[in-house]
Structure 1
């Protein structure tokens, strides 16, 4: 029963990166051109303010700076670096670099959460990278140094965001709706001055623009991040990180459906390898033998052993 529940939780959590895989298509087909900061700011800030209004609860104490850090890592800096890399690197290269993210989480989870580095996760990561390469790589191309650094920075932001979200959990009396609102608002406010300084408003907004922005706010931010943070609270950090590999798969499939692109045999094989990597990434460590205890990460109670949800997450999730 527990195993079936974990599979269902992983499947639901995987919907978030699946939705994020549609972001590139929505941005290129529905939004005003050449305004990535506008897209990312509008994606985060309105939805965050809406969730704050619905939750009617602001951070208290240490959660002011924790919410700011998580908002920057999970949303503000991550999205900024991702779009920056996409504009400076050839198609697919950014996705290949971003596929290093699960291995970053494996290392960070060992440092901050006390999770063991397992050979199965190294194998899953290698398979995930190979699958992404088969899926998106299109020949050789010169690499832009700033673009590569931005892609690596984006992967590190996402990895550290997942790890710290898992380590800190969320306050006992705060549900996932409010918790998501804190982070979206913080991330949007961090992006706001960059957008105002580097971009201007489009002269007009078309019906397609409005539909695109509405999609990014609702599905691309509010609903997807609520599902994502719920999953982080219930699954091991490493397992969640591998789910993000589904994003380039969805982006490729949507390109085939909407733009009449075709899939090669290598791409189909790459998708199968990515799916296998995601499944391997969900495998849990063996249960401790009778009399043994799992090590708890520094600064946590026994109820916060890695892989087990904290009591407050069970009550408010």
Structure 2
């Protein structure tokens, strides 16, 4: 059951990159897509907290500075850079680059926090570097350079969130962290997203979601709702549910399959393809990420929870009864 829940979360999140790309191709900017996603997820998380944990709305004063940093860096900037990267890169490659945050977390934990790491980390570094060079085809520079920078910037934001969050917000529930960081990010992004330039007609604006399968026009509201509910909040809940049945390491490794699903959905739906060499490179990077995922003693970055609703703290690698 745990693996089924984790895979379902990975499928939904992997597909969401393509949904995001379709909305931007229909006319929304990365900033506007980010604004809608942040606001919608904050509202959904808040409604759930009203039912299950109203105490979460009383945030201790000492946690406000950390939450503000997490909301701005780990959610607002993360989501915006990822959306912008997806606009310029194939969906799978953008997500693959963002997943290098797992490697960054392990390196910073080792060099700056003096954590013990397993020797496989150094193998993981070599795999990721070689794999990324192959995916990017550095000998011919085929990938959009700005898109690569944006995706790596998203990885840095994600890594920063984990490194701050696991030390400062460990006693706050994942749902509460999601609500507060999303709310803070919404307020921050509202000043620069250009939402005031849109009118209500944006929700009924026709969007072709048919992809390579042919024309299928729906109102913009439909992919927007998918982006918030099925692309963000549902994977978050499924990931939490999976942790009731799986050790954190197993859940984190299954979450890495999001990259595979992102490639698959973008290929089947949007017609985005990689050549054989790039596919091999992507597989090498993913192998390195999985090794890095298991390199820290007793901890694992559950990137699935992070990338769906804004990162939450890392979790101990213990089975949940």
Q: 1:276 aligns with which of 272, 283, 287?
A: 287
Once the two structures are TM-superposed, the CA of residue 284 in structure 1 deviates from its matched residue by 5.3
Q: 2:47 aligns with which of 46, 49, 53?
A: 53
For the residue of structure 1 that corresponds to 2:193, the secondary structure is helix
Matched, 1:24 2:35: no
Is the CA contact 1:15–1:224 (under 8 Å) kept in the aligned structure 2? yes
Deviations 1:84-130 (Å, cap 9, x if unpaired)?
44556798875675454233211222356542244312322332344
Cα distance in 2 between the residues matched to 1:167 and 1:14: 28
Matched, 1:223 2:234: yes
Q: In the superposition, relative to structure 1, how do residues 224 and 66 fare at CA in structure 2: closer, same or farther (>3 Å)?
A: farther
Count of matched residue positions in the alignment of Structure 1 and Structure 2? 281
For the residue of structure 2 that corresponds to 1:185, the secondary structure is helix
Is the CA contact 1:131–1:273 (under 8 Å) kept in the aligned structure 2? yes
Is the CA contact 1:92–1:136 (under 8 Å) kept in the aligned structure 2? no
Q: How does 1:243-262 map to 2 (within 5 A)?
A: 246-260=257-271
Is the CA contact 2:17–2:86 (under 8 Å) kept in the aligned structure 1? no
For the residue of structure 1 that corresponds to 2:27, the secondary structure is coil
Cα distance in 2 between the residues matched to 1:178 and 1:286: 27
Cα distance in 2 between the residues matched to 1:86 and 1:283: 27
Cα distance in 2 between the residues matched to 1:91 and 1:221: 16
Once the two structures are TM-superposed, the CA of residue 158 in structure 1 deviates from its matched residue by 0.6
Q: In the superposition, relative to structure 1, how do residues 104 and 179 fare at CA in structure 2: closer, same or farther (>3 Å)?
A: same
Q: In the superposition, relative to structure 1, how do residues 228 and 184 fare at CA in structure 2: closer, same or farther (>3 Å)?
A: farther
Aligned to 2:173: 175
Aligned to 2:277: 266
Q: How does 1:134-149 map to 2 (within 5 A)?
A: 134-135=134-135, 137=137, 139-141=140-142, 149=149
* Greater mean alpha carbon deviation, residues 20-29 or residues 180-189: 20-29
Is the CA contact 1:124–1:278 (under 8 Å) kept in the aligned structure 2? yes
Q: How does 1:87-166 map to 2 (within 5 A)?
A: 87=87, 98=98, 100-110=100-110, 114-135=114-135, 137=137, 139-141=140-142, 149-166=149-166
TM-score when scaled to structure 2?
A: 0.68
Q: In the superposition, relative to structure 1, how do residues 225 and 77 fare at CA in structure 2: closer, same or farther (>3 Å)?
A: farther
Is the CA contact 2:34–2:79 (under 8 Å) kept in the aligned structure 1? yes
